[in-house]
Amino acid sequence: DLETLSHEGGIVFARIAREAMSGRGRFAVALSGGETPRRLYALLGSPLFQDEINWNGAHFFWADERCVPPEREESNFKWAWNLFLSKTPVPASNIHRIRGEEDPEKEAKRYETELRLFFGSEGPPRFDLVLLGVGDDGHTASLFPGSNAIEERTRLVLPVFLEEPKKNRITLTLPVLNHASKILFLVSGSSKAEVVKRILAKEKSAEKLPAALVKPHQGSVLWLIDEAASTKWLETDDSRLYT
């Protein structure tokens, strides 16, 4: 269930944070929105995990954001802030939000500059952890099937203009996701069962789905999937390789 999934996610999150702190003295993570990670966020802000993480050395970025002000319900930042960041001693300077209220193109360029300044590299930044979800259409972050954004190989951050302007977004690109040290997919709900099966079974029809294109060059991917989202995958022969 979601509670077990979220608790396991918290354990993984805290472990990667500790490893990063011991190795480099800081922990850089990109968070995602959606309903699935909300319970994880609440747990991270609870006494259960608060003492597990060195908040002074933790830096929080976002994998994507909706183009809305931070106080709006749709804001990915708002959920992370309300559920856990506001409950921890993380310094304000360690919170690197995407400013969804700004012009999308200008903000995408500004956020890319912020990433380059923080990570100090010419190539893509190397996050210790990127937390991602999967939509039932196979999208991840704000990279949607058939979008030009999934073809991007140079820019780190892109605006994503959808048919309804109120739903425009800003997203990290595949070069960033695929340069991460660790990717954690957190997936729940029966509506995701079909796409999870297609991606994990490496079906040809799923090859170009954004979530299937997340393959870190020098990193690893961990899928945490609840029972409802894994039912169809568990019916395949390939699932035996993962059990």
What's the pLDDT tens digit per position in 110-151?
Answer: 999 999 999 997 789 999 999 999 999 999 999 999 999 999
Place of tokens 């893509």: 124
Q: pTM for the full model?
A: 0.95
Q: What is the mean pLDDT of the chain?
A: 93
Instruction: Give the tokens for residue 77.
Output: 């930042």
The C-alpha atoms of residue 87 and residue 93 are separated, in whole angstroms, by 16
Whether the Cβ atoms of residue 172 and residue 157 lie closer than 8 Å to each other: yes
Q: pLDDT by residue (tens digit) across 202-226? A: 999 999 999 999 999 999 999 999 9
In this prediction, residue 33 has a pLDDT band, given cuts at 50, 70 and 90, of: very high
Give the DSSP per-residue string, 118-168. HH--SS----SEEEE---TTS-BTTB-TT-GGGG--S-SEEEE--SSGGG-
pLDDT, residue 238, reads 59
Share of the chain above pLDDT 70, in %: 96
- Full set of structural domains in the chain with CATH: 2-169+184-226 (3.40.50.1360)
pLDDT at 100: 97
Q: What are phi and psi of 182, to 5 degrees?
A: -140, 135
